[in-house]
Amino acid sequence: MAGLKSDRRCFVLASLGALTSGLSSAAETTRSSARVTIALAARQSLYHLPLTLAEQLGYFRQAGLTVEWLPQEGGSKALGSALSGQADVVAGAFEHLFGLQQKGVSYQGFVQFGRTPQIALGVSTRKGSHMRSVMELKGALIGVSALDSATHWMACQWLLQNGLLPEDVSFVEVGTSTGVVEALRHGTVDALCNPDPVMHWLEQKNEVRVLGEARSLAATRKVMTGDVPGACLLARSEFLQRQPEIAQALSDGVVHALKWLQTAGPADILRTAPPAYWLGDRAIYLGAFEKLRESYATDGLFDVDPVLNAWRAQARLKGYGPMGRLALERLYTNAFASKSKIKFAA
């Protein structure tokens, strides 16, 4: 009888162990099966380096996410794919939130990974070898990724800063991939506004002369008259409320990557960034990265003062009416990034 009780106890314990193991396995499967689609432009650019690092270093996977990327040729096109339901989240310029707010569409930024626009404006050395300032671009054809994208807005800011109006030039959509270089070389455009490493590569190859750049904090403050938020992840407020665990996982992955980036050396970057992103020249890729190093966010958090400054610049450009500080604060949330910051001591 004692042996029977012992056998029965062992059977019960084994059954409980199997059940617990099964539940853990099921929970892990559920956790690892969470999927999210992110729309973005310039997928291979340094603008999105923190996202690349979070993916390549396995941080999104560790957070229980499978990320599907939806590349587009411009930020406005990436946003359009999200508005049409093709993507859950957009990776792009914070300024998109201003336009959405004006249209009555409720979106919020929920983790910031850039703190400058990370964009440069350069004139073709073939067509404008004599040009030395933005003022000489009157009547020029300027290539941008897409209309109503960050490259378009920044080009307009440089024009306004130098006494020109956006109507004084013609904007041509050239995207952010191979078509950029082709448009410049074939004379389709006289000047180009795009992110790095493309702009740095063209500059090093003596194909463009940079007339304006917003890579560093100092250069950004010069053109924008202060700090502004840069790239971020943004999504419908409804999505953030309905899928907070996915938003938190995305924030964790990004902030973890930002933490890693603070101490990463050139060799670390080359080991992590896919060689296809180097434009065939790792030295130029690293040179572009060094110009941008300080432009990456450190903890994923938004601050209202840069947001307010960005709003003023965008309002001047687009003719928007006044917006109060509280209304601007509703365009973003630090609920997720603040938890990520604590988790990774960023």
The structure's pTM equals 0.89
Domain assignment of residue 104, given as a range: 32-116+228-344
Are 220 and 233 part of one and the same domain? no
CATH code at 174?
A: 3.40.190.10
Quick check: is 152 in a domain? yes
Q: pLDDT digit string (tens) for 237-257? A: 999 999 999 999 999 999 999
70 with 126, same domain: the answer is no
Q: What pLDDT, on the 0 to 100 scale, is given for residue 33? A: 63
266-275 per-position pLDDT tens digit: 999 999 999 9
Specify whether 189 is located in the same domain as 287.
no
Domain count, the chain: 2
Domain boundary among 194, 224, 254: 224
Per-residue pLDDT of 145-192, as tens digits, reads 999 999 999 999 999 999 999 999 999 999 987 789 999 999 999 999
Residues 187 and 213 in one domain: yes
Would residue 337 count as lying in a domain? yes
Is 12 within the bounds of a domain?
no
Count Cβ neighbours within 10 Å for each residue of 93-115 and write b for 16 or more, e otherwise: bbbbbbbbbeeeeebbbbbbbbb
